[in-house]
Chains A and B, each alone.
Chain A
Amino acid sequence: MAFDFNVILDNWALFARGTWLTIVIAVAAVAAGFLISMPIALMALSHRRTLRWIATAYVEWFRNIPFIVVLYLFFYGLPFFNLRLPEAIVGTIALAFFASSYFAEIIRGAILAVPKGQMEAARAIGMSYFQGLWEIVAPQTVRLLVPPSTNTSISMVKETSVLSAITVAELTYQGLVVQGETFAPFEVFLTTAAVYWVVTAIFAHFMHRAERAFGAAQGAHQARSSLADKYLLIGARRPA
């Protein structure tokens, strides 16, 4: 079976529009999700047990159900509050809340990794809690935030494909439309997948540059003899 490029060439405008919407939704949801996650992370670190419990429940709830279920809950749940929004907005909101639970865990971990003495010193010289957090602790977390946030953001780009289930005209939905017209599943879905592949690769590329710019720690390499490398090392890391 030959790959029929005409299927793609005839419908390139649909794919292009879908790709654009996918990128817009992913960027908006990741940005909004990061903002939502900040108070959640602070609640998770709070001294008050109730606040900690709420944050834990929030994070565990979203992390343990599939995104498609979160999406449907928002899709059918928002009208209960008399909020009738376009599907693309509903999908972006759902993805933002879903992403926030992952970001909250990342931020919590990063703040915990900053030595306690930093905040104590900030408080001792008269800064308020939030001043200490913003001026002293936050700058030190950036280096720790970038690598896991990259992975989560890339996951969220991929999760946008689920929005096709509520007819948001993003890339996967356009793929389904073209598939319905052309009955060329291989051409259509390989192209769809390839576009995601490129988008996530570009995303990863920029995030890796950010990682280097922030001087992320390089993974420590274990010293050992090369006799067992034949079994234990795969790929590029095998010494020549």
Chain B
Amino acid sequence: MDFSVAALGGAFPQLLPAMGTNLAISLVAMLLALIGGTTLTILRTLGIMPLNAAIGVVISFIRGTPILVQIFLFYYGLPALGLDLSPIQAGILAIAFNSSIFITEIMRGGLSGMDSGPVEAAIALGIKGKVIWTKVILPQLYIRIMPPLVNELTTIVKGTALLSVITVVEVLRTAQQVANASFRPLETLLAAAIILFAVNFVISQSGRILETRFAARRG
């Protein structure tokens, strides 16, 4: 069987709309992960020992296990607990949970490298903790960690392709369906790969541009 360029080109019209599902999932997951990661980070600075120990175990667990197994845990496990979730919901939750753990670690790194002057000034002025977070620390922190956050977004986009395994009809699963009908698996999957590559390449390159910009701004 020869490689068919026509089959490669013909796959794009069917796959491009499916990529929209990946992007939608990615954005929702990223948003949830940012909220989760920020909450975890603030909780960790409170210095409540048992809580920090528990969060530490969860961080180690999430970082030491494959995201695919985490997706299976959410997809097969949560319904067993009585939570009835669609594959897409389970997938979003699994990815967001995984990502919030990586984001809180990114934030921890960002915090430890931050200039303490503004925070000391805020403490000296008697500003309350909540306000110190929202007005002093977080705005600086998000700018500081923008490059690794963008990197995390590409990880999330890559993670959405794994949801094909739990029957979410995103770009990879669509490619498999198209291939089953056309008997052109390689061409169709290559088309899906090109689409995923293009999206991630644009995200990671803009991350690099941001990095040089912010590096200049930080002086």
Interaction A to B: yes
Binding site for B on A (CB under 8 A): 1, 60-61, 63-70, 72-73, 76-77, 80, 154, 158-162, 164-165, 172, 175-176, 179, 184-186, 188-190, 192-194, 196-197, 200-201, 222, 224-225, 227-235, 237-238
Q: Do the beta carbons of B61 and A193 come within 8 Å of each other?
A: yes
Query: At the interface, yes or no: B161 with Cβ under 8 Å from chain A?
Result: yes
B residues near A164, Cβ cutoff 8 Å: 68
Give Cα distance in the complex from A238 to B47, angstroms: 9
The DSSP consensus for interface residues of chain A is: helix
B residues near A61, Cβ cutoff 8 Å: 197
Binding site for A on B (CB under 8 A): 1, 3, 41, 44-45, 47, 52, 56, 60-61, 64-70, 72-73, 76-77, 80-81, 108, 111-114, 116, 119-120, 123, 129, 132-133, 137, 154, 157-159, 161-162, 164-165, 172, 179, 185-186, 189-190, 192-193, 196-197, 200-201, 204
Q: Do the beta carbons of A228 and B123 come within 8 Å of each other?
A: yes
CB distance from A31 to the nearest CB of B (A): 20
The DSSP consensus for interface residues of chain B is: helix
CB distance from B102 to the nearest CB of A (A): 12
CB distance from A235 to the nearest CB of B (A): 6
Q: Do the beta carbons of A159 and B172 come within 8 Å of each other?
A: no
Q: Do the beta carbons of B72 and A189 come within 8 Å of each other?
A: yes
Given A69-B161, A172-B69, A64-B154 contact (CB < 8 Å): yes
Give Cα distance in the complex from A128 to B132, angstroms: 59
CB distance from A21 to the nearest CB of B (A): 14
Q: Do the beta carbons of B116 and A189 come within 8 Å of each other?
A: no
Select A68's contact among B76, B137, B172, beta carbons within 8 Å.
B172
Which of A158, A162, A222, A231 has the largest count of B CB atoms less than 10 A from its CB?
A231
Given A64-B204, A232-B116, A76-B61 contact (CB < 8 Å): no
B residues near A194, Cβ cutoff 8 Å: 65
